[in-house]
C-alpha cells in the first residue's frame, strides 16, 4: 500500500508538481507555465535577429 509512486497518484496526468500542493507553490507554477511560452518566443526572436545581422 505504501509504494513510492503513490505520492503523485492524484495529480493530473503530465503534471510535474506533487499532489496535494494547493499552497502558494501551485499558483507559482501556474504563473511559470503561463509565462514560459512568451519567454521562449522572445528568446527565439532575439536569436533570429542575432543570426540575421
Domain boundaries, the chain: 25-53
- DSSP collapsed to 3 states, the chain: CCCHHHHHCCCCCCCCCCCCCCCHHHHHHHHHHHHHHHHHHHHHHHHHHHHHC
Percentage of the chain beyond pLDDT 70 is: 53
Which one has a higher pLDDT value, 51 or 22?
Answer: 51
pLDDT band at 9 (very low <50, low <70, confident <90, very high): low
The owner of cell 496526468 is: 13
Query: Per-residue pLDDT averaged across 8-18, rounded?
Result: 58
pLDDT value at 36 more than 90: yes
Stated length of the chain: 53
Amino acid at each position: 500500500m505504501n509504494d513510492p509512486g503513490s505520492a503523485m497518484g492524484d495529480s493530473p496526468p503530465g503534471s510535474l508538481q506533487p499532489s496535494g500542493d494547493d499552497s502558494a507553490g501551485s499558483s507559482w507554477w501556474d504563473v511559470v507555465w503561463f509565462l514560459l511560452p512568451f519567454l521562449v518566443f522572445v528568446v527565439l526572436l532575439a536569436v533570429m535577429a542575432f543570426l540575421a545581422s
